[in-house]
Structure 1
Amino acid sequence: MVLPGMTYAMPPREERLCLLDADRDALTRLVTPMQPGKLAKQLVAGMEGISPLLAREWAYYAFRGSEPVGDQIEPEQADRLVFAMQQTRSILLGEQPAHYATLRTREGMLKEFCFQRIAQYGTLMLESEASSACETLDEFYARRDQDARLKQRANDLFTLLMHTMERISKRLANQREELAACAAKEDMKRKGDLLSANLYQLQKGDAVARVQNFYDPACPTVEIPLDVRLTPSQNAQRYYAKYRKASTAEKVLVEQIRNGEEELRYIDSVFDALTRCTSETDIAVLREELAGEGYLRAARRGTKPTRSQPPLVFRSSDGFQILVGRNNRQNDQLTLKQAAKQDLWLHTQGIPGSHVIVVSQGREIPESTIYEAALLAAHHSKGRDSAQVPVDYCPVRYVKKPNGAKPGMVIFTNYQTLYVKPDEEILERCREGVHETAG
């Protein structure tokens, strides 16, 4: 707070080195002795205006990417550290050209931006270059704000899907428990048969029937509990009734469990598509899909349906166009209506993900293109972070959609399976191939 008539004094300046003014000896003294494993923090604490990213990059260059050993920096390491600092200073003074870029993870999440090349992440990060500092900052913060808006708009869908998956899982657990109890139905039938075969030696009011089990070759004597209020014949019919009830319940439960597992797979596929949404349009399309399936309240009458974006387009190293669906409805459209019978269809085995189509145009598809398409299928699936992802593939003519199946659900035959490890470099080449062709 500034008061009238009072002289304003600047806060005391911390005793830190300025990169633009500090000489070699001052920079060397700053890191001697060196805090074990904390060189980057030491640089940030001792210098003005230095970001942790830049400090880590200098340390990475000084120690050639290895961890520092001991508490003293070697002369050669000190030389490399000072050289890295001087290179940065030259860029700041305009003596060398700057390299403006933003860094993002392989999943597309923005992490850093800088005015010089960053090598410390290796292949773990992807780089997007810009022509100026303003363009870099605009891209970084605009994209970050967009990601924040998308996350906020998708939060209610994530909550809905999580609660739905939890509810279905609990219901399936109860049904499986009931189904396990039905396994005793054959024992009920055997008890009814044994009682029917020994009615002549039983009396009303007996609490237990001791009879020979003729289902066992040794014919041992077994005890069968009876209801003292019922006649022997009625007790036998009581066990038969339990058998029939368990048999009927078993058939119903098997069908209910099958439907529940299919519903759970569908919700899981929508959840996976939601994690890969890149625009508000993608989220709106998923809302309409869930409303159409009864999981959300339908939009008011007269509301125009959202126009979905076209499938993702890639091009293989052999020149084949590869199409990737963005969501379940687009998967159906792509596979069942847009693709030709001789095109190749791919999907991760037992893992929610996108349908992938290789457009053959009547040509034979080489193995290299099939491999790249399988990489795309693995990347656009829930298994994109796995080491080995199984991908099934077959001609489109062998892919069918059962009547009443949920969006994105198909059956297929005559398929082969390829195991792939997601490779971002190959995927990036497929993306670049689209731009090169378009240009």
Structure 2
Amino acid sequence: GRIIDSIKRVGQEMSSVRMVLPGAQYTLPPREQRLNLMECTKEEFLAKIAENPTAELSKAIMKTLEGISPVFAREAVFFAARGAEITAEQLSGDTADRLWFYFSKVRDSINDGTNVYTVLKTKEGNLKDFCFCDITQYGALMVTKSFESPSVLLDYFYAERDSLSRIKQKANDLFKLLINTSERTQRRVQNQREELKECKDREKYRIYGDLITSNLYALEKGMAYAEVQDFYDENCPTVKIPLDKRLTPTQNAQKYYKEYRKLDTAEKKLTVLIAEGEQEVKYLDSVFDSLTRAQTEGDIAELREELFQEGYVKRSKFKGKPPKALPPIRYRSSDGYEIRVGRNNKQNDRLTCKEAEKTDLWLHVKDITGSHVIVTCDGEMPPDRTIEEAAIIAACNSKGRNSSRVDVDYTFIRNVKKPNGSKPGMVIFTNNYTITVKPDTELEEKLRV
């Protein structure tokens, strides 16, 4: 019962309640006296919770009952107060009855073995919390997954969390690269757009050159400006054109022509550069979206290889074979149609351009980044239910998975083409229809093979 030593020593000057020093008598840490949910009565509970009248009710419950987590305390208050936030002193009448009814119901389900063990996930798939009962307080903001036993729940929760944490660490440098490169590209495109605005005045310089040339007989070297009639305007107004005193009238005209040609060439080049920059931002956005949905180290390795081939990263120094990437995600619609989804841009290209038949149906979210979705249908338009389910799958595997509504384009593979020299995953398509769906991760998970 004597303390041999401790990592952290606590003397009397630090705590008068419990000293932790070599040779001292060991005692258990002090604990607050709390009630057991499975044994206490309603009267005991209400009397104990009244000791913290000004505290928020969920926090007062945690101080009153033994072993209660914040999410369970909030769920109890959510049920009792019907979504309102109240303090402990406001707990009375019907609210108190509903709260005790909730505790009694949970107590009975635990005794009967009918309670469910619940894991909470955000819509992005991040693990949030877990509990020994059903959780409804978050509504549609969270996704729940039920388990039959606490052991299975905890195995799933911590294994999944470790896997996600490991993948996030592996992909951390790619996230930073993509964010920085995308921001840099967007700034460059914005600067090019500003330069393009300046090119809109180029016609003015050509007109100045023409007007000076047509009035050479009235001009001479040393003049500061030329007042001439603008015959390009039907009213022929008089315009005042600045001149360089050091140049002859002909040289001034050539100077304006040169400025016109310069701006005309700049406009053509800037238009191409801006289009290329916008495509690059879309491409980087698509890689970022694929990275957020990566499930294995193999997925990350394939994305890293794709970025290497596009010149964004150097070859990895990893020796040996990289982890094997997973095949396309497979689903089965309620009508029995096979649905395949690409995990990244390279896989999207393989799936759409090589593996799918010309008679298969192709889907993609409208105007935002996402995976290519293929429905094997042998040239016949699938039933409406299958098209809707495939569109929901496309929405869930895209940047719009957290939106309330997503537009999804669909057409047959024969109408989808990949332009020469385009970025991975980039295609053009014609003869398409559009369907609007609500992303449903529960349905997406249910249809997954």
Letter in 1 for 2:191: N
Distance 1:381 1:29, change over 3 A: same
How many residues are aligned here? 431
Select which of 15, 34, 39 maps to 2:33. 15
Deviation at 1:348, TM superposition (A): 1.1
Spell out the pairing of 1:225-236 with structure 2 (5 A cutoff). 225-236=242-253
User: Which residue in the other structure is 1:437 paired with?
Assistant: none
* Residue 205 in structure 1 maps to residue 231 in structure 2: no
Between stretches 111-120 and 269-278, larger displacement belongs to 111-120
Deviation at 1:113, TM superposition (A): 1.7
Spell out the pairing of 1:16-415 with structure 2 (5 A cutoff). 16-32=34-50, 38-65=56-83, 68=86, 71-90=89-108, 94-299=111-316, 304=321, 307-415=324-432
Query: In the aligned structure 1, how far is the partner of 2:344 from the partner of 2:251?
Result: 58
Query: In the aligned structure 1, how far is the partner of 2:161 from the partner of 2:316?
Result: 30
Deviation at 1:71, TM superposition (A): 4.2
Cα contact 2:225–2:240 (8 A) shared by 1: yes
Give the SS at the match of 1:177: helix
User: Which residue in the other structure is 2:3 paired with?
Assistant: none
Deviation at 1:91, TM superposition (A): 5.7
Between stretches 176-185 and 72-81, larger displacement belongs to 72-81
Deviation at 1:301, TM superposition (A): 10
Cα contact 1:185–1:246 (8 A) shared by 2: yes
Unaligned 5+ runs, structure 2: 1-8, 10-19
Task: Give deviations 1:39-98, integer Å, cap 9, x for gaps.
Answer: 211100222221112212222333355555994434443233223323444566x55344
Letter in 2 for 1:77: T
Query: In the aligned structure 2, how far is the partner of 1:10 from the partner of 1:304?
Result: 53
Give the SS at the match of 1:112: strand
Distance 1:4 1:402, change over 3 A: closer
Letter in 2 for 1:193: D
Task: Give deviations 1:147-168, integer Å, cap 9, x for gaps.
Answer: 1111111111111011101111
Query: In the aligned structure 2, how far is the partner of 1:273 from the partner of 1:346?
Result: 17
Query: In the aligned structure 2, how far is the partner of 1:123 from the partner of 1:251?
Result: 49
Query: In the aligned structure 1, how far is the partner of 2:391 from the partner of 2:62?
Result: 45
Letter in 1 for 2:97: D
Letter in 1 for 2:243: L
Query: In the aligned structure 2, how far is the partner of 1:232 from the partner of 1:272?
Result: 59
Give the SS at the match of 1:185: helix
User: Which residue in the other structure is 2:13 paired with?
Assistant: none
Task: Give deviations 1:171-224, integer Å, cap 9, x for gaps.
Answer: 111211111111111101000000000000111111111111111122121111
Give the SS at the match of 1:129: strand
Query: In the aligned structure 2, how far is the partner of 1:71 from the partner of 1:302?
Result: 65
Deviation at 1:426, TM superposition (A): 3.2
Cα contact 2:56–2:88 (8 A) shared by 1: no
Query: In the aligned structure 1, how far is the partner of 2:322 from the partner of 2:161?
Result: 28
Give the SS at the match of 1:58: helix
Query: In the aligned structure 2, how far is the partner of 1:123 from the partner of 1:4?
Result: 54
Residue identity (%):
52
Cα contact 2:56–2:85 (8 A) shared by 1: no
Unaligned 5+ runs, structure 1: 435-439
Letter in 2 for 1:22: C
Letter in 2 for 1:57: E
Query: In the aligned structure 2, how far is the partner of 1:238 from the partner of 1:11?
Result: 89
User: Which residue in the other structure is 2:16 paired with?
Assistant: none
Between stretches 187-196 and 26-35, larger displacement belongs to 26-35
Task: Give deviations 1:260-287, integer Å, cap 9, x for gaps.
Answer: 1111111111111111111111111110
Query: In the aligned structure 1, how far is the partner of 2:421 from the partner of 2:322?
Result: 22
Deviation at 1:346, TM superposition (A): 0.8
Query: In the aligned structure 1, how far is the partner of 2:225 from the partner of 2:381?
Result: 75
Deviation at 1:290, TM superposition (A): 0.2
Deviation at 1:115, TM superposition (A): 2.4
Letter in 1 for 2:435: L
Query: In the aligned structure 2, how far is the partner of 1:11 from the partner of 1:307?
Result: 50
Cα contact 1:33–1:72 (8 A) shared by 2: no
Cα contact 2:341–2:372 (8 A) shared by 1: yes
Distance 1:64 1:208, change over 3 A: closer
Task: Give deviations 1:385-436, integer Å, cap 9, x for gaps.
Answer: 22221211111000000110110000111111122221334324423xx3xx
Query: In the aligned structure 1, how far is the partner of 2:53 from the partner of 2:443?
Result: 41
Letter in 2 for 1:16: R
Distance 1:348 1:303, change over 3 A: same
Select which of 426, 434, 444 maps to 1:417. 434
Task: Give deviations 1:93-144, integer Å, cap 9, x for gaps.
Answer: x553443332222322111222233333344433333343222212111111
Distance 1:250 1:130, change over 3 A: same
Give the SS at the match of 2:370: coil
Cα contact 2:49–2:88 (8 A) shared by 1: no
Between stretches 39-48 and 335-344, larger displacement belongs to 39-48
Give the SS at the match of 2:145: strand
